[in-house]
Amino acid sequence: MSDQRSDQYILFTVAGTTYAVPSSQIAHVDLVDEITRVPNAAPFVDGVVFSRGQIIPAINMRARFGFERAPIDLRTRFLVVNTGGRSVGLLVDACREFLRIDPSAIHPPTDVLGGSGESYVAGIATTSSRMIVILNLDQLLASNDPILAA
Amino acid sequence: MTEFLDTFLDDYFAECDEHLTAVRRTLLALESSVGQPRPDPAVTEELFRAFHSLKGIAGMVEHREIELLAHEMETYLRAVREGDVRLTTAGVDTLIDAARLLEHAIAARRNRQPPVDVESLVLELRQIAPAGDSAPGAVAVAPPTDAGSWQCLFTPSAELIARGVNVDMVRARLRAVGEIVSAAPVVGEGGGIAFRFVFQGEPAAADVEAWRADGMVCSRVEQETVPAAVPAVPADRGASTLSSGHYVRVDLARLDDLMRMIGDLVIRRARLGDAVARVESHVPSSDWRAIQENTSALERQLRELRDGVMRVRLVPVGEIFRRVPFVVRDLARETGKRVAVDISGQTTEIDKFLVERMLDPVLHVVRNAVSHGLETVEERVAAGKAPEGTITLAASAAGEIVTIQIADDGRGIDVDRVIARARVAGLPVPAHVDEAALLELISSPGFSTRDASDRVSGRGFGMAVVRTTVQDLGGSMRLASAPGQGTRFTFELPLTLAITDALLARVGTQTFAVPQAAVREVIELDAASIQALEGGEIIQYRAAPAPVVRLSGVLGIPVPAAQERLHAFVVGAGAGAVVLVVDRIVGQREIVVRSTSDPLIRVDGIAGATDLGDGRAVLILDAVALARHARGGWGAAPRVRETA
């Protein structure tokens, strides 16, 4: 599922940056319900959410990228993603649009970031008005190490 | 019409499974008959029936390759049964290969894959079977032997053993008068163990008479009267009755659906109970009592329904164990080791789902035990051990917990080697590596003691996967290993999944569920009665000191103000008791257990999560793990170490 090429993306924002995830990896997008704290979980895991009959871990994407947590408001969304046989929820500042991105508009991360590049960044897409960071969810979820936002 | 066909095929595959199970169970028993003039008729009869039925049903659905293979197996077995062909090791090997292919062929059909090619095995079977069709009813005449065939049934007893009459002595006596063809343990009439010897020779009538007093019953085996049909031990007596008509085969998915529906009902009933409690003050008391009585009756009946469905899901652990002798047999061949398999408790029942999930972990540990645990014959003899290694499988149930043990009497785990390899793999190694730490190391992802040349064990299924599987099932794993004595893995698994009784407790502002099976007692205590000791806390519980664990501390939950009265769970018995302190116990509920197996939230002390019907997730505490954590951290308590 994760390696399926799709041009359709879901866009969301975390701390002012726009990120994209292939829509084929998104199970559903929820308003934020109550999050149950899980003691001794990784620092960027806010806890678990009971969503559609499943217990889903909630990753606070601000915390994941090393930012201060922001209070939950009406724009906050919970993106449930399916990847590598797991279902994980991403807590993001906002999530409003779908976008088709032409593969030719996506640059490999090394071109932009230099050096080895960040493995969780699949690419950087540039449109006329903005820059979008395309995430590699498998890489993002594979490790609990601190990472810095692209 | 297609729906009818699908249902029919479901039944067909279920029936295939049943026959394959019978084949697996009996095929190894057949091996012990190698070289005998005629194998145990109980064994051949069961196998014959299974092949025959498979042939018939495969023919009905036009699965020709399955039909053909089963037919050839049946033909060979008929020849063996009739005495036309003497059973050889090569013959049993071919049958086992054919049984595997049969399994494979059925699986391919089930998964709608192209039919499997069976030709080479069909040819092999034809080669070992006699040329030409043995016409039904043809009387086979076995070549007469000079010496007569005798069988001797020896039933040991305490009295006989006290007199020095044991199996070895019986063996010696028979050797003195003839050649022993086979010896096998059998289950006697009363369920006790007896030994059946078949031998060629001519014992004196006086001897035969004298032996009778020593529990040895000998009789000449006539051509027509084959040895008395006493089932051999591996042919599970309980299971063989399963082929009678009083059983219904049910697809596990249908039971899962039923279980889910009951889970939803349980939650719905709990919400109804809450709602009923809320309206109490608004309803006339006589009306309210009627409502209340009905909801409690509903709760009770729901519980009975739940228990009933759970019982339907229980199957004997023997389903896993039955596969083990096959695996061990192949590995023993490949490695040149001699291995005996000792199985007990195979009738212990456990949820079907758990049996299916535990098959690979159990087989993996068994493969490891044979490949790595057991020494070669030469090494064992040099170490003064019996040349034959033993793999012991045992299952037992206590309360809601099923224990599966897999032990070998091999060399034990080489701790230094494990540590060295863990360092190479970049794993953190604690200063003192005890058995728990050893288990942690060998089941870390990235750890493998497998040498490149060793293709026998492993097969892509490491101890890391074993551990994850066991944890995902809500179970736990222990290790005991002693140099030169062997290694033992112990799996503790819940009897069933899905729904369990739990106590609900509040710690700070958070609610937790604690499965009732783990809780020995609920107590109320004075905060003042808790005393500090060596950086920990203790309380007097049943006239003995017991360590106290404040869940607020372990779970890092801020508690607003110190309470005077506290509630606590007591976990573990006797000197192992641990008191887990919460703020308040707020109720008791049936909960639907959902796994929290994602690595992000896999935390020691959390066994899963549930919802209480209000859409919020509630964590389920693993009280036993929390208590273990407490004992490990409490200096005054001796660490309990298991030895193999």
The single residue listed with the structure tokens 């990228």 is A65
How many angstroms separate the CA atoms of B539 and B126, rounded? 76
Q: Please give the average per-residue pLDDT across B340-369, as a whole number.
A: 87
- Tens of pLDDT along B427-449? 778 778 888 888 888 887 777 64
3-class DSSP assignment, residue B610: strand
Q: Which two tokens stand for residue B622?
A: 């693993």
3-class DSSP assignment, residue B227: coil
Considering only CA atoms, which of A101, A52, A43, A119 is closest in space to residue A80? A52
Q: Say yes or no for a CB contact (<8 Å) between B609 and A54.
A: no
Q: How many CA atoms lie within 13 A of A59 on its CB side?
A: 22
How do strand B314-316 and strand B349-351 relate by DSSP bridges?
Answer: antiparallel
Q: Please give the average per-residue pLDDT across B491-518, as a whole number.
A: 83
State yes or no: pLDDT of B572 exceeds 50: yes
Closest residue in chain A to residue B613, using alpha carbons only: A50
How many angstroms separate the CA atoms of A94 and A91, rounded? 9
Considering only CA atoms, which of B620, B598, B597 is closest in space to residue B607? B620
What structural domains does chain A harbor? Answer: 8-142 (2.40.50.180)
Q: Please give the average per-residue pLDDT across B349-366, as a whole number.
A: 86
- The least confident of A137-146, B185-194, B573-582, B616-625 is B185-194
**Residue B190, exposed/middle/buried by CB under 10 A (0-12, 13-18, 19+)?**
exposed
Q: Please give the average per-residue pLDDT across B20-24, as a whole number.
A: 85
Q: Please give the average per-residue pLDDT across B516-539, as a whole number.
A: 83
Q: How many CA atoms lie within 13 A of B257 on its CB side?
A: 5
Of A40, A50, A88, the CB nearest to B598: A88
Query: Which candidate in A46, A48, A141 is best for mutational testing of the B interface (most B CBs within 10 A)?
Result: A48
Q: How far is B610 from chain A (nearest CA, A)?
A: 8
- Residue B245 amino acid letter: G
How many angstroms separate the CA atoms of B158 and B163, rounded? 9
The pLDDT of residue A60 is 95
Considering only CA atoms, which of B458, B219, B255, B424 is closest in space to residue B356? B255
Cβ count near B344 (within 10 Å): 13
pLDDT band at A114 (very low <50, low <70, confident <90, very high): low
Considering only residues B456 and B103, tell me which one the structure prediction assigns the higher pLDDT.
Answer: B103
B510 CB within 8 Å of a chain A CB: yes
The single residue listed with the structure tokens 């709602």 is B275
How many angstroms separate the CA atoms of A123 and B547, rounded? 54
- Residue B55 amino acid letter: K
Cβ-based contacts under 8 A for chains A and B = 65
Measured CA to CA in angstroms, residue B506 lies from B77, B337, B584, B623 at distances of 66, 56, 5, 14
CB B41 within 8 A of CB B226: yes
- Determine what percent of chain A is predicted with pLDDT higher than 90: 31
Measured CA to CA in angstroms, residue B80 lies from B84, B98, B555 at distances of 6, 16, 67
- Determine what percent of chain B is predicted with pLDDT higher than 90: 11
State yes or no: pLDDT of B613 exceeds 80: no
Residues of A engaging B, defined by a Cβ cutoff of 8 Å: 33-34, 36-42, 45, 47-50, 54-55, 57, 59, 86-88, 141, 144
Q: Which two tokens stand for residue B600?
A: 């992000």
Q: How far is A63 from chain B (nearest CA, A)?
A: 14
B611 CB within 8 Å of a chain A CB: yes
Q: Say yes or no for a CB contact (<8 Å) between A55 and B609.
A: yes
Considering only CA atoms, which of A141, A150, A67 is closest in space to residue A112? A150
State yes or no: pLDDT of B77 exceeds 60: yes
- Tens of pLDDT along B88-132? 888 888 888 888 889 889 888 888 888 888 888 888 888 887 654
Would you give the distance in Å from CA B267 to the centre of its chain?
32
Q: The complex's ipTM?
A: 0.85
Judging contacts by C-beta atoms under 8 Å, the chain B residues touching residue A45 are 600-601
- Tens of pLDDT along A12-63? 999 999 999 988 888 888 888 789 999 888 889 999 998 776 789 999 999 9
Q: Please give the average per-residue pLDDT across B318-345, as a whole number.
A: 88
Judging contacts by C-beta atoms under 8 Å, the chain A residues touching residue B594 are 54-55
State yes or no: pLDDT of A93 exceeds 90: yes
The pLDDT of residue B261 is 81
B506 CB within 8 Å of a chain A CB: no
State yes or no: pLDDT of B325 exceeds 60: yes
Q: Say yes or no for a CB contact (<8 Å) between B601 and A38.
A: yes
- The least confident of B90-94, B351-355, B537-541, B629-633 is B629-633
The single residue listed with the structure tokens 């018995």 is B573
Of A42, A55, A59, the CB nearest to B617: A55
State yes or no: pLDDT of B644 exceeds 80: no
pLDDT band at B498 (very low <50, low <70, confident <90, very high): low
Q: Please give the average per-residue pLDDT across B348-359, as a whole number.
A: 83
CB B449 within 8 A of CB B406: no
Q: Say yes or no for a CB contact (<8 Å) between A57 and B554.
A: no
Strand order in the sheet with B584-592: B584-592, B499-507, B510-515, B617-621, B606-611
- Determine what percent of chain B is predicted with pLDDT higher than 70: 84
Would you give the distance in Å from CA A34 to the centre of its chain?
20
Q: Which two tokens stand for residue A103?
A: 């593969």
Q: Please give the average per-residue pLDDT across B486-494, as a whole number.
A: 90
**Residue B4, exposed/middle/buried by CB under 10 A (0-12, 13-18, 19+)?**
exposed
Q: Which two tokens stand for residue B466?
A: 């074993």
- Residue A67 amino acid letter: F
Of A33, A36, A45, the CB nearest to B600: A45
How do strand B578-582 and strand B565-571 relate by DSSP bridges?
Answer: antiparallel
Mean pLDDT estimate for chain A: 83
The pLDDT of residue B489 is 94
- The least confident of B177-191, B320-334, B512-526 is B177-191
Of A34, A45, A88, the CB nearest to B616: A34
The residue ranges of DSSP E strands in B266-388, in sequence order, are 314-316, 339-344, 349-351
CB B74 within 8 A of CB B59: no
State yes or no: pLDDT of B350 exceeds 60: yes
CB A54 within 8 A of CB A87: yes
Q: Say yes or no for a CB contact (<8 Å) between B603 and A50.
A: no
CB A150 within 8 A of CB A133: yes
Cβ count near B619 (within 10 Å): 26
What values do phi and psi take at A107, rounded to 5? -100, 140
Judging contacts by C-beta atoms under 8 Å, the chain A residues touching residue B505 are none
Cβ count near B532 (within 10 Å): 9
The pLDDT of residue A149 is 54
Considering only residues B138 and B310, tell me which one the structure prediction assigns the higher pLDDT.
Answer: B310
Q: What is the DSSP letter of B266?
A: H
The pLDDT of residue A38 is 92
The residue ranges of DSSP E strands in B561-616, in sequence order, are 565-571, 578-582, 584-592, 606-611
CB B606 within 8 A of CB A45: no
The pLDDT of residue A118 is 60
Closest residue in chain B to residue A140, using alpha carbons only: B600
Q: Say yes or no for a CB contact (<8 Å) between A33 and B601.
A: no
Cβ count near B54 (within 10 Å): 27
| Neighbouring-strand partners of residue B398 | B401
Distance between start and end Cα atoms, chain B: 59
The pLDDT of residue B475 is 77
Alpha helices in B32-166 (DSSP H): 41-60, 64-82, 89-110, 119-128, 158-162
- Tens of pLDDT along A62-82? 999 889 998 888 899 999 998
- Tens of pLDDT along B226-274? 333 333 334 333 333 344 456 777 777 787 778 778 877 877 887 788 7
Q: Say yes or no for a CB contact (<8 Å) between A39 and B617.
A: no
Mean pLDDT estimate for chain B: 78
Considering only residues B638 and B342, tell me which one the structure prediction assigns the higher pLDDT.
Answer: B342
What values do phi and psi take at B131, rounded to 5? -65, 145
State yes or no: pLDDT of B200 exceeds 60: yes
Radius of gyration for chain B, computed over Cα atoms and rounded to the nearest angstrom: 30
Closest residue in chain B to residue A46, using alpha carbons only: B601
The single residue listed with the structure tokens 């036309």 is B84
How many angstroms separate the CA atoms of B483 and B617, rounded? 46
Q: Please give the average per-residue pLDDT across B599-610, as a whole number.
A: 84
The pLDDT of residue B389 is 92
pLDDT band at A148 (very low <50, low <70, confident <90, very high): low
3-class DSSP assignment, residue B189: coil
Radius of gyration for chain A, computed over Cα atoms and rounded to the nearest angstrom: 15
